[in-house]
Amino acid sequence: MSTSHRRQAAPRQEPALRRFDPQRLWALTRKESLQALRDPSTLLIAFVLPVVLLLLFAYAVSLDAKDVRIGVALESPGAAAQELAAAFSGTRFLDAGFAHDRRELAGKLVSGELRGYVVIPQDFEQRLAQRGSEPLVQVVTDGSYPNTANYVENYARGVVQAWRAGLDAAAPPQPVVLEPRYWFNAELQSRRALIPGAIAIVMTIIGTMLTALVVAREWERGTMEAVLSTPASVVEILVGKLLPYFVLGMLSTLGSAALAAFVFDVPLRGSLAALLLLSGVFMVPALGQGLLISSLARNQFLAAQVALFTGFLPAFMLSGFLYEIDAMPAPIRALTWLIPARYFVESLKTVFLAGDIWAVFLPNLLAMAAIGTLFFLLAKRATRKNLE
Amino acid sequence: MQAADAVATDAAGDGAAVVIEGLDKRFGPMLALHSLSARIHYGRLTGLVGPDGAGKTTLMRILAGLLVPDAGRVTLAGYDVVRDNDAIHVASGYMPQRFGLYEDLSVMENMRLYAQLRGLDAGHSAGLFAELLDFTRLAPFTTRLAGRLSGGMKQKLGLACALMARPRVLLLDEPGVGVDPVSRQDLWRMVQALTDEGMAVVWSTAYLDEAERCQSVLLLNHGQLLFDGPPAELTAQLGERSLRLENAGTRRRGLLSRALDLPCVSDGVIQGEGVRLVLRKGADAGPVRELAAREQLRLERVPARFEDAFIDLLGGGPGGSSALAERLPPVELDSDVAVSCRNLSKRFGDFTATDNVSFEVRRGEIFGLLGPNGAGKSTTFKMLCGLLRPTAGEAQVAGHDLRRASGAAKARLGYMAQKFSLYGLLSVQQNLEFSAGVYGLEGKARRERIAEMIDTFDLGNWLSATPDALPPGHKQRLALACALMHRPPVLFLDEPTSGVDPITRREFWTHINGLARKGVTIMVTTHFMDEAEYCDRVAMLSRARLIALDTPDALKRIAVGAGHADPSMEDAFIHLVESAEREATAA
């Protein structure tokens, strides 16, 4: 080797020490990007998984009860009973099948063919004549699907009441008529509420799980030891790791948003800029959490487990994505304040379904940034530039 | 390379590249390094030598600024490893024991990354890259992913990256492990060039032939410094205590075993047809002379080797009898041929890993498979023990055809894998029970066999420990116990002593020799050339082909003709591989 490239020597020369060096950061970022691009599983998680998840939430998961299959046991031959039965078949929310004996329907309920059935008993006309001293009909529902059961019960009650109201046309009209309007999601399609939330899940997977895995992988494969022995600082190593995954997460968000708007018909009522800002800020706690996990668990299996239980599952269950937070018991509700995805899901629903409402965004942005900063501080404390 | 001015001027300080004073390092209750003081100088290759767990890697990591000492002071190139930690990373180049580069990046991408991390301008380092690639002979492979390089090439790439910004001190942690002799020679040549320039190079190793080539060694044992100085000085301390029983032929194993049991003998190994012995300090050679006279063998005084002195300094090797072999009933086998293969080939896609290999192994023979990395040793081995299906050709083990009755063949063979394949989450007892169960031992037979293994291998105190908590020697015993649970007549050992220190290796070979004397056939692959000397016959593989098959002495004689006066097994190996490659390129 020649001396041409050699550092100009001086006695006891202080080596060029810089805590932060853009060139080193760039080198690490480039390396991480190359690795991410070459690893098929990364691309799978970033670009295929969102599509699968969105498809799943758009088509397979539905919280709406629509065309619920019920049975109507018409045991009374009377004209009034016939009319009531016809009322059941006239709704678009229930898909009613008819029978003359309740035993026929009971079997179908057990086998899962029906979610419930209504019995119009033999003495229906008599009961009707007694005017409410005895229940008119019996509603049997499948309690193993509590939501649907509730729905069938309420709806069946509604049908009977509406039918009776028509019967008592002579009676004085009700003084107050309630006409419900559902804001933001006028058709009450759960898809519209689920898809924005699914973006939060995707970002949690990329931000937390992927990051936790890639840092743990460096420890596991022994590459961390070699990098730590270079002048690169901890901040450079960590930021160099995060930048590519930040970009990956944002790209994935854009892709999901496009899919939501153009394929699944979810309106984006707010601005794209607001969506990107919210996503960008959500990446702070997501990446911070991944980093914290990986600095504590130095093997991939453990990191994946911890990320699953502290990142993915809470984002899934406690963020208000799938289950309404207001319906949770108080201690759990308190816990949700610690879940960054909670703020993101709320913001996402707002930006998609309502618009740019900064009164909602600002506190959420602040909360996500605060939790994120905390994660980063903890991660920085837990990562030292040695192997101790 | 020219003299390094950077290094020369710095040496004006107090002349030492590394100064260690009263260094202590503990991990929990374990004292990994204890009041260690030493100096390492510029322009010299310093070997850090010691058995496993001696504290070599801990010391290396402290020097590289990756671990913090508990007591004492360490400076490197004039910088304190704790206070001037950032400067340490600039002044030193460090190559960890495990390959630390990114396997999914190409050779060039790895080099560019390390150049930039070390503050070199990538745009202006084309010249430096060209030099390093030339130096490491990696130039033809710049676009290859690091993960696809052979073991030797990986180490050379690691060295290139550690050398990137001309460190004043180069720290290499066991660079020779898993590297075949040919690649190892390249590494030596490179390191030699660097020390000639004035760089301080620290090379840690458990290979004693490597230690012998260093200009100075630090010998560690249990975290303490036993010796500091040129290896020749340590060898000289031994004086004239090295002897050799010549031409012992087939009696050599029994002879070694008996000699090692003599109280006056501290160490002994098989060297081809002969048995090499080291006397204890101050002991009388009388009993050895008597033994030689009884066997009518010539006893020669031979020059001491570094290894003799090393083992002697550590208190001598283990005894000669294997309790295991003593208990084992002699092996019954119908045929005289225990393992055979004919025209065995294995292709992975268009890559041929094993090409038309044929040989026969006799009952009770120790048969070695040697070759450079990627020569096809492991593939051949795995086909012979039924783990891989040959593409063509046939193989038989203990009379069973592996293609037709691989299950029956597997029941007749024991297999000990490179990494010992013990279950880290099971205790020693559970590991033993598992292997007994997996070989179909039941009830009383099972209890008895397990008890026998525990007794034989002295595992009684460790039954509830996990394998990872065992000292290396015990861990190896446990692995051997598991492989021998069903008393197989054929034992396959895949690099059984890779990364194992010399004393543990000796104990291991005591058992193996004992087993061979009982008629167990041993198939072994190894990187350690001196271990090839234990083999009755050695098959050398290069580029998937069998290039030589003979006794160790006969193979060495081939190298004599090629200009080596007293060739070692390693010389013979390099000679054979190189001439095979010349033929291949000529053809």
Minimum Cα–Cα distance from A31: chain B residue:
B113
Neighbours of B168 (CB within 10 A): 24
Residue B6 banded pLDDT, cuts 50, 70, 90: very low
Q: How confident is the model at residue B419 (pLDDT cuts 50, 70, 90)?
A: low
In this predicted complex, what is the ipTM? Answer: 0.73
Whether A349 is in a domain gets the answer: yes
Whether B58 and B32 have beta carbons less than 8 Å apart is answered as yes
The residue from A132, A166, A200 where one domain ends is A166
Tens digits of residue pLDDT in A20-43: 788 889 999 999 999 988 888 888
Q: Which residues of B touch A234 (CB under 8 A)?
A: none
Specify if A180 maps to a domain.
Answer: no
What residues have CB less than 8 Å from A8, skipping those under 6 apart?
none
Tell me the residue type at B299. Answer: L
Question: Does residue A1 lie in a domain region?
Answer: no
Q: Are strands B242-245 and B392-397 parallel, antiparallel or unpaired?
A: unpaired
Single out the residue in A112, A132, A166 at which a domain terminates: A166
Q: How confident is the model at residue A205 (pLDDT cuts 50, 70, 90)?
A: confident
A47 and A124 assigned to the same domain: no
Contact criterion met (CB below 8 Å) for B377 and B330? no
pLDDT band of B200, cuts 50, 70, 90: very high
DSSP element (H, E) containing A120: strand A116-120
- What was the pLDDT predicted at B9? 39
Distance from CA of A104 to the nearest CA of B (A): 56
Highest mean pLDDT among A355-364, B176-185, B417-426: A355-364
Does residue A308 lie within any of the structural domains? yes
- Judge whether A235 lies within some domain: yes
Judgement on whether residues A53 and A82 belong to the same structural domain of the protein = no
Which residues, 6+ apart, have CB-to-CB distance to B327 below 8 Å? B452, B456
Assigned token pair, A323 = 């289950």
Is the same domain home to A89 and A202?
no
B58 inside 8 A of chain A by CB: no
Looking at the complex, report in whole angstroms how far the Cα of residue A18 sits from the nearest Cα belonging to chain B: 9
Specify the pLDDT at position A12.
Answer: 40
> What pLDDT shows up at residue B94?
93
Give the C-alpha separation, B140 to B142, whole Å: 6
pLDDT tens sequence across B267-291: 888 887 888 888 888 788 888 888 8
Q: Are residues A222 and A339 part of one domain?
A: yes
Those of residues 173-232 in A touching chain B at CB distance below 8 A are 221-223, 225-232
CA distance A282 to A341: 8
Q: Answer whether residue B125 shows pLDDT above 80.
A: no
Query: Are A377 and A264 in the same domain?
Result: yes
If asked whether residues A161 and A235 sit together in one domain, one would say no
Q: Note whether A116 and A74 are same-domain residues.
A: yes
pLDDT band with cut points at 50, 70 and 90 for residue B4: very low
CA B486, distance to chain mean position in Å, is: 28
Whether A309 is in a domain gets the answer: yes
pLDDT in tens, A88-130: 887 777 788 888 888 888 888 888 888 888 888 888 888 877 7
Residue A171 above 60 pLDDT?
A: no
Q: Would you call B5 and A3 a contact, using CB atoms and an 8 Å cutoff?
A: yes
Q: Would the pLDDT of A236 be above 50?
A: yes
Residues B552-567 pLDDT 10s: 888 888 877 766 777 7
Task: Count structural domains, chain A.
Answer: 2
pTM for the model stands at 0.77
* Structural domain includes residue A97: yes
Residue A18: the pLDDT is 58
A148, A248: one domain: no
- The minimum CA-CA distance between B145 and chain A, rounded to whole Å, is 11
Q: pLDDT exceeding 70 applies to what percent of chain B?
A: 94
B472 touching chain A per CB within 8 A: no
Q: Give the Cα separation of B496 and B481 in Å (integer).
A: 13
The DSSP 8-state label assigned to residue B11 in this structure reads T
Encode pLDDT of A53-68 as tens digits.
888 877 766 656 667 8
Q: Of B169, B162, B166, whose CA–CA distance to B17 is shortest?
A: B169
Nearest by CB to A35, from B105, B112, B118: name it.
B105
* Pair A124, A213 in one domain: no
CATH number of A142's domain: 3.40.1710.10
B12 touches chain A (CB under 8 A): yes
pLDDT at A132 over 70: no
Residue B69: the pLDDT is 93
CA B55: distance to chain centroid? 17
* C-beta separation of B33 from B61 below 8 A: no
Report helix, strand or coil for A171: coil
Mean pLDDT (whole number) for A320-333: 86
CB–CB of B406/B385 below 8 Å? Answer: no
pLDDT tens-digit series, residues B146-180: 988 877 788 889 988 988 888 999 999 988 876 77
CB proximity A22 to B under 8 Å? no
B22: pLDDT confidence band, cut at 50, 70 and 90?
Answer: very high
Q: Is B518 helix (H, G, I), strand (E, B) or coil?
A: coil
pLDDT digits (tens, 9 = 90+) for B56-73: 989 999 999 999 999 999
With H, G, I as helix, E, B as strand and everything else as coil, classify residue A140: strand
- In percent, the amount of chain A with pLDDT more than 90 equals 22
Among the partner residues A1, A28, A231, nearest to B1 by beta-carbon distance? A1
Q: Among A2, A13, A388, whose Cβ lies nearest the Cβ of B67?
A: A388
Model confidence band, residue A4 (pLDDT cutoffs 50, 70, 90): very low
Which residues in chain B touch residue A227, judged by CB atoms under 8 angstroms apart?
A: 100, 117
The alpha carbon of residue B12 is apart from the nearest alpha carbon of chain A, in Å, by 8
Give A355-365 pLDDT, tens digit per residue: 898 999 999 99
pLDDT computed for residue A134 by the predictor:
66
Residue with tokens 């293994």: B453
* Phi (first) and psi of residue A280, to 5 degrees: -60, -45
pLDDT at B535 over 50: yes
Residues A80 and A47 in one domain: no
The pLDDT value recorded for residue A30 is 93
Average pLDDT over residues A299-322: 89
How far apart are the C-alpha atoms of B50 and B220, rounded to whole Å? 5
- Contact in structure between B374 and B150 (CB atoms under 8 Å): yes
The answer to whether residue A181 sits within a structural domain is: no
Does any CB of chain B come closer than 8 Å to the CB of residue A26? yes
Contact status of B554 with chain A (Cβ, < 8 Å): no
pLDDT bracket for residue B39 (50, 70, 90): very high
Contacts of A82 by beta carbon, 8 Å cutoff, 6+ apart: A74
B132 in contact with chain A, both atoms CB, cutoff 8 A: yes
Q: How far apart are CA A16 and CA B117, in angstroms?
A: 12
Q: Is B130 on the interface with A (CB under 8 A)?
A: no
Per-residue model confidence as pLDDT tens digits over B238-252? 888 888 888 877 788
Which residues have CB under 8 Å from B500's CB, separation 6+? B52, B206, B472, B476, B508
A378 and A243 in a common domain: yes
**Owning domain of residue A217:** 22-61+188-382
Find out whether B66 and A224 touch, Cβ atoms under 8 Å: no
pLDDT tens track for B455-491: 888 888 888 888 877 777 778 888 888 888 888 889 9
Q: Do A225 and B98 touch (CB under 8 A)?
A: yes
Residues A376 and A257 occupy one common structural domain: yes
Chain A residues whose CB is inside 8 A of the B157 CB are none
Question: Which chain B residues are Cβ-neighbours of A6 within 8 angstroms?
Answer: 4-6, 166
At residue B278, the 3 state secondary structure works out as strand
